[in-house]
Amino acid sequence: MSRSGGTSRRAVLRAGAGLTAAAAMTSVFRASEVFAQGAADGAADYVFHNGRVYTVAGSAPWAKAVAVKGKTIVHVGDEAGAMALAGPKTQMVDLKGRLLMPGFVEGHTHPFLGAFLTSGLDLQLANLDEVLAAIAGYAKEHPTGPIRGFGWRVDMFPPEGPNRAELDRILPDRPAFFFAIDGHSLWANSKALEMAGVNRDTPDPIPRFSYYARDQKGDPTGYVLEVNAVLSLVNAVEPISAQTMARLLEGWLPKAAAAGITTVFDAGVPPIGSDQGAMFALYEDAEKRGVLPFRVSASYSVKSPPDRPGG
């Protein structure tokens, strides 16, 4: 992993053998996590054969087979060369004519933010009735603690946005909050607002930008907009800590692996309070525990230029 901003480079994950495969129509083979320990006899752990291998190498863009040992791709070429590396414990993967290609390098993402926003109940559904039914069902399956989720669309609601009353009918006594699909707004119930101390007398963090939508009486409706107001409420219901972010990140990592992502650029690691190093340490810890499925290049999140003497 590299950290931009003048700091030294530190390796979090040196070599990866992540592979993903895709074919036309619905024929798909995925092997985005190849983390075998290596066969004791020196043979390959995996041989992928009987398919088309796109190498993305200009001089030799196509091959027929791939062999992997441990975290290293040891052969990309003809099938005979790959089969020569096979042993009694080698797992032979028949691609059945499908396409095998290198893993994807993601050029701009925020894994911690993605993990934070997309945990809990997925509300990417057709309409509000389905959303409310899904929330009710999820609450029954998870009978204790706060309820969180993500993915609802603004166009499911009138211009004034969602209302806490709809959630209160389902969850009158438990805090609940749900991120919109764009990640810039939140839908919360009355219990969550109460825990956050948000009422008609609560000032908006940034008036007309990050604020609590209100009804004609001035009471908050449960529609919360932009990061300052959103994070304030979420932090009151489920305190945002390094431990929380580590748990959420670990739940998100398999999703990236399943999508065939083998390298990411984290374009702004968020701090926990004022401690940004803690978040980099979470990547390092995940790598040490063997649960980080991709290489990481990362930068600090800087909100404003540093002060300059005489500036």
The tens digit of pLDDT for each residue in 201-219 reads: 999 999 999 999 999 999 9
Q: What is the pTM of this model?
A: 0.69
CB 238 within 8 A of CB 193: no
The tens digit of pLDDT for each residue in 60-119 reads: 899 999 999 998 999 999 999 999 999 999 999 999 999 999 999 999 988 988 888 888
**What pLDDT sits at residue 242?**
87
- Does the structure show a pLDDT above 90 at 302? no
**E-assigned strand segments in 84-242:** 91-94, 99-102, 104-109, 121-122, 147-152, 176-180, 185-188, 211-214, 220-225
The tens digit of pLDDT for each residue in 256-292 reads: 989 999 999 998 887 776 677 788 889 999 999 999 9
CB atoms within 10 A of CB 48: 30
State the average pLDDT over residues 219-230.
96
Where does the pLDDT of residue 41 fall: very low under 50, low under 70, confident under 90, or very high at 90 and above? low
3-state SS, residue 5: coil
**What pLDDT sits at residue 26?**
26
9-18, 127-136, 179-188, range with the lowest pLDDT: 9-18
CB 112 within 8 A of CB 245: yes
Residue scoring higher pLDDT (99 or 242): 99
CATH, range 147-237: 3.10.310.70
**Mean of pLDDT over the chain:** 85
Domains 19-102 and 147-237 share a fold: no
**What pLDDT sits at residue 185?**
96
State the average pLDDT over residues 174-189.
96
Bridge pairing between strands 104-109 and 261-269: parallel
Three-point CA angle 270, 286, 40, nearest 5°: 155
User: Going by CATH, does the domain composed of 19-102 fall within 2.30.40.10?
Assistant: yes
Burial class (CB in 10 A: 0-12, 13-18, 19+), 76: buried
Residue ranges covered by each domain of the chain:
19-102, 147-237
